[in-house]
Amino acid sequence: MARTFEDLVAEAAFVSVDGWDFSWLDGRATEERPSWGYARLLGERMAQASAALDVETGGGEVLAGVPRLATRTVATESWPPNLALATARLRPRGVVVVATGDERRLPFGDGVFDLVTSRHPVTTWWEEISRVLQPGGTYFSQQIGPRSAVKVTEFFMGPQPAGSGRDPELAGAAAEAVGLEVRDLRLESLRMVFHDVGAVIYYLRKVIWIVPGFTVDRYRTELRALHDRIQADGPFLAHATRFLIEARKPA
């Protein structure tokens, strides 16, 4: 028997969205993964690094999965619930998790790290990355691409302007502007499938930039319409975009 709209809303509106683990969506939503395999590539680079920094580590889920960390590994996080999760998850592996604020400065000295990484950063502080990298050091990151999940955004907020500040070419230019040499830059579009409106609610509560200011009460009319659409026509389809960038600080 299909679950009612009210049942789905009640469940998804109150489940915890702390951390960066999406396992709650198992069986309810899927998203293709980029072909390059960020976690595997991250592990390869970590194993060769002596001092590494993971910026905006979230709940530490990705870093915790690396088989062999750099000899000295540090992570930063600014959101308090994620900071607590990351500390609990990474401390047993010898990783120091440092709290950061809104200031556009990393709390580390110049040339400290030979590897700086970040998965899905909100903002990339290119000047700071260049500053904390050693000569010959590498920045390695998977980031949200242009107009990612725009079909979801437009369902709730209407048509969105063309263009995006998350264009990989802009990221490459910003890296080069601070003296880094771009070694790899790739973009992919990835299929997203939502099987019920509860999955959409959970996703929007967790990935807060897709529909800024999202709450169930504010968008109840749209959510009801989406539920009816899924019931009548099947899963709601959208596409996420991701890009990979790797840049090196000249020796």
pLDDT score, position 19: 82
Helices (H) and strands (E) in the chain, counts: 9, 8
Residue pair 86/97 in contact by the 8 Å Cβ criterion: yes
Of 90, 163, 167, 180, the residue nearest 126 (C-alpha): 180
End-to-end CA distance of the chain: 63
Q: Specify the pTM.
A: 0.91
pLDDT score, position 103: 82
Residue 52: phi and psi, rounded to 5, are -130, 150
pLDDT score, position 164: 84
Torsion of CA 191, 182, 251, 117, to 10 degrees: -20
Report d(CA 63, CA 53) in Å as an integer: 10
What does the block give as tokens for 145? 């691409």
pLDDT tens sequence across 126-156 = 999 999 999 999 999 999 999 999 999 999 9
Of 170, 118, 150, the residue nearest 241 (C-alpha): 150
pLDDT classification of 1: cutoffs 50, 70, 90: low
pLDDT score, position 199: 98
Q: Which has more pLDDT, 1 or 33?
A: 33
Percent of the chain, pLDDT > 70? 100
Of 30, 92, 34, the residue nearest 60 (C-alpha): 92
Of 143, 133, 118, the residue nearest 58 (C-alpha): 118
Of 202, 197, 195, the residue nearest 227 (C-alpha): 197
Of 195, 209, 231, 234, the residue nearest 153 (C-alpha): 209
User: Is it the case that residue 125 has pLDDT exceeding 90?
Assistant: yes
pLDDT tens sequence across 23-81 = 999 999 999 999 999 999 999 999 999 999 999 999 999 999 999 999 999 999 998 98
pLDDT tens sequence across 210-247 = 999 999 999 999 999 999 999 999 999 999 999 999 99
pLDDT score, position 140: 99
pLDDT tens sequence across 87-112 = 999 999 999 999 998 788 999 999 99
Percent of the chain, pLDDT > 90? 93
Q: Just give the CATH number of 5-248.
A: 3.40.50.150
pLDDT tens sequence across 2-22 = 799 999 999 999 999 988 889
- Cβ atoms within 10 Å of 50's Cβ, excluding its own: 13
CA 67 to chain centre: 20
Of 45, 19, 112, the residue nearest 74 (C-alpha): 112
Q: Where are the beta strands (DSSP E) in 62-154?
A: 72-77, 96-99, 113-119, 133-144
pLDDT score, position 130: 98
pLDDT score, position 165: 85
